[in-house]
Amino acid sequence: MSEAEELTPEAPVTGKGRMDVAWGANTGDEPDASTNVASTAKSGEIFEQEYTQWNGTLNPRWMRNWAILRHHLLGIFKKGHRPWSMPTRIFILIAFLASLGDAAMTLLASLIGSAEVHSWFGVNRDNLYGHVLGFFPRNVLWYPIVAALLVGGVISEDRHHGTSALYFSRPVSRFDYIGMKYLSVVLIQSFVVLLTYFIYFLAEILAFGRGWSWMLDVFPMFLAGLIAGMILIVTYTSLGLSLSSVSRGRFFPGIGLLAIVFGTKTLASIVKNLFEREILYLLSPYDCVAHVGQAIIGTQPTYDQYPWTYSLVSLVAMNAAALYILATRVSSMEVTRE
């Protein structure tokens, strides 16, 4: 006897009959809708799901977090992890090589013995500021675009495709989820910003044979530039992930981050040129980072109408607002596709 004959001996089972069993033949507004469903459901049980408790041993928390972090980081270099697009990988490589331009010119200055070229590209306070926070070309062509490419789909694609179910159906807290996503973007940006900064100093030491006394003298300056680079990375990451958390696609977060960075700076520059007022620079993430970075490194400031502490307060407020939006949106993510 066939399976259909076992279920309904009096009539063959058709696709329509199975749909009637699942949903009923009517719209559900009729008074006898439940009767129709019950009568057709006599043919057999459609679906049965049982949950059993798992009594195994969970991996430690650090291992679960490492799995999330590795999933994002190794996707830049190899397959089998987060599928970063090829244009993103290519641009990160281009930005990394372009950020080594100062190190290459420092090596060239040592080879040709030119003090003038070394003054343009060698290690000093002004060049440290330009290497990390210089608007052109780094903060026009490299760093904001790298951040925009990275944050595009880190959280928004989880909301769109329901990947959050893979995270939150397991013992992964919302805090760990945000932390590992945040750290992934920070580390990839650090590969472009901070690693090239280390190589820049290393090129100066090797090319000119700098000794321990020189390294001890410039270490505070080196540390200041490192802190300025970290502030830049954290600010771009906070803004980008907050935009990614309110979106469902890759396009809006990336374009939104670029619009915030370039739009606020352009508007502030126009106001300064027309009315000689710099107050709108407090709304520009780049200018706030640049002003704080100038104070930390000790180079000549380019913002004269207000102290750098105003920029620091504005920077803290930007990051706090972005992190609040990020935390609020992630806390609303369900263990289903939204």
Question: Cα–Cα distances in Å, from 80 out to 6, 71, 72, 249, 307?
Answer: 46, 8, 10, 22, 49
How do residues 17-34 score in pLDDT, each as one tens digit? Answer: 444 444 444 444 444 444
The answer, yes or no, to whether residue 285 has pLDDT greater than 50, is yes
Distance CA 3, CA 230 (A): 66
Distance CA 132, CA 286 (A): 12
Helix, strand, or coil here: 178? helix
pLDDT band at 51 (very low <50, low <70, confident <90, very high): low
Q: Does 5 or 321 have the greater pLDDT score?
A: 321
Distance CA 236, CA 317 (A): 14
Question: Cα–Cα distances in Å, from 334 out to 47, 71, 82, 330?
Answer: 24, 21, 21, 9
Distance CA 56, CA 182 (A): 30
Q: What pLDDT, on the 0 to 100 scale, is given for residue 45?
A: 57
pLDDT band at 46 (very low <50, low <70, confident <90, very high): low
CB atoms within 10 A of CB 211: 9
Torsion sign over Cα 316, 318, 323, 325:
positive
Q: How much is the average pLDDT of 70-86? A: 89
Domain locations along the chain: 3-43, 61-331
Q: Residue 157 CA to chain centroid, in angstroms?
A: 12
pLDDT band at 306 (very low <50, low <70, confident <90, very high): very high
Q: What pLDDT, on the 0 to 100 scale, is given for residue 79?
A: 83
- Token readout for 293 is 């970075």
How do residues 146-166 score in pLDDT, each as one tens digit? Answer: 999 999 889 988 887 777 777
In order, the DSSP letters of 253-309 are HHHHHHHHHHHHHHHHHHHHHHH---GGGGG-HHHHHHHHHHHHHTPPPS--SS-HH
pLDDT, averaged across the chain = 86
Q: What pLDDT, on the 0 to 100 scale, is given for residue 83?
A: 86
User: What's the pTM value of the predicted model, to 2 decimals?
Assistant: 0.82
User: Using alpha carbons only, what angle is made at residue 278 by residues 274 and 284, rounded to the nearest 5 degrees?
Assistant: 110
- Token readout for 208 is 């000119």
- Token readout for 59 is 């991996």
